[in-house]
Structure 1
Amino acid sequence: MLSYVVAVSRNNVIGKNNSLAWRLPDDVKFFREKTLSETKTMIMGRKTFESLPKVLPGRKHIVYTRDKNYKIDDPNVEIIHTIDEILPYAKSDQEYFVIGGGEIFKMLFPYTQRMYLTEIHENFEGDTFFPDYDKSQWKVTEKKEGTIDEKNIYPHTYLTLERV
């Protein structure tokens, strides 16, 4: 099963200059809690992978790129080149986490069953956007308001959505 883990601003921004457009430490902690485990796998595009500070420990990384010569020498990183290589993960009973970016979110939307969505209730400038989707096809199964404090200054809500 494919699940998205993504933070989205009110105006659908998910990134700027190959980075986040905001600083929200609690959301980083939320992301880590969802994806960290030796048995968990993250699927991402090449640009998202390159935006990470390093190969994230304790997780397998599947990186989608059209560049047939792209190589990463790490046993926790698998490189794939076609959507057909991703589709078996969508049919699995195991949960696989799609973490970005905008292009891969758009490409995999028809195959995704769950979203862990952090809604940030602010507008931001950005160059990468979460795709528009039909909200009537999704049901909120969990909702939790994020804490606002000196480190987490933006109002935000954590949602779990399931495809209906």
Structure 2
Amino acid sequence: MITLIAAVADNLALGKNNDLIWHLPNDFKRFKAITSGHYIIMGRKTFESFPKPLPNRTHVIITRQKNYHPEGCIVVDSIEKAIEACPKTETIFVIGGGEIYNLAMPFADQLDITRVHHHFEADTFFPEINPKKWQLSESEKHLKDEKHLYDYSFETYLKIK
């Protein structure tokens, strides 16, 4: 199964200047719980936005740079090769950025979205979720609080077969 996992604003914003625009601790906890122990596919810029590789995950990085070989990571030059590098029996998570989400969307079986209920100025966006191809199967709303500046919802979409 291939799952795209992302925190996405109401206007589909993902980030700006290779960084997140918001800070939602519960989203980070959910991301860690869902992706730990699995293969995660990302673009080079997303990988480089981390201070270090994420623990307890196998990193598959897509880049066109020929001499890019971070230690302990699988490096490929296409979404197809990234998927091939992962075991077929595994749930694979695509974690960004925007270009990688666009490339991976046709291969995805599920979308795990943290919907941030706000509009942000951004330079990276998530692809449009076509309601003819994706069905919302779960949604759990959370209101802003002292640790979360925005209302948000955890949403799961399943591909319509």
Coarse TM-score class (shorter-chain normalised): over 0.9
Aligned to 1:145: 141
Aligned to 1:53: 51
Aligned to 2:33: 33
Pick from 137, 143, 153 the counterpart of residue 157 of structure 1.
153
For residues 54-73 of structure 1, the aligned pairs below 5 Å read 54-73=52-71
Pick from 129, 132, 137 the counterpart of residue 128 of structure 2.
132
Instruction: List, as ranges, runs of 4+ consecutive aligned residues in structure 1 with deviation greater than 6 Å.
Output: none
Deviations 1:58-100, CA, capped at 9 Å, x for gaps:
1110000011111112x2x111112331243689342100000
Structure 1 residue 4 corresponds to structure 2 residue 4: yes
The one-letter amino acid paired with 1:103 is: E
Structure 1 residue 118 corresponds to structure 2 residue 114: yes
Give 1:139 shift.
Answer: 1.5
Asked if structure 1 preserves the Cα contact closer than 8 Å seen for 2:61 and 2:82, the reply is no
Asked if structure 2 preserves the Cα contact closer than 8 Å seen for 1:2 and 1:89, the reply is no
Aligned to 1:88: 84
TM-score by length of 1: 0.91
Deviations 1:129-160, CA, capped at 9 Å, x for gaps:
01123122111222111242101120000011
Aligned to 1:43: 41
The one-letter amino acid paired with 2:17 is: N
* Unmatched segments (≥5 aa) in structure 2: none
* Unmatched segments (≥5 aa) in structure 1: none
CA RMSD of aligned residues (A): 1.6
Q: When the two structures are aligned, how many residues end up with a matched partner?
A: 160
TM-score by length of 2: 0.93
SS of residue in 2 equivalent to 1:11: coil
Calculate percent identity across the aligned residue pairs: 39
Aligned to 1:24: 24
SS of residue in 2 equivalent to 1:62: strand
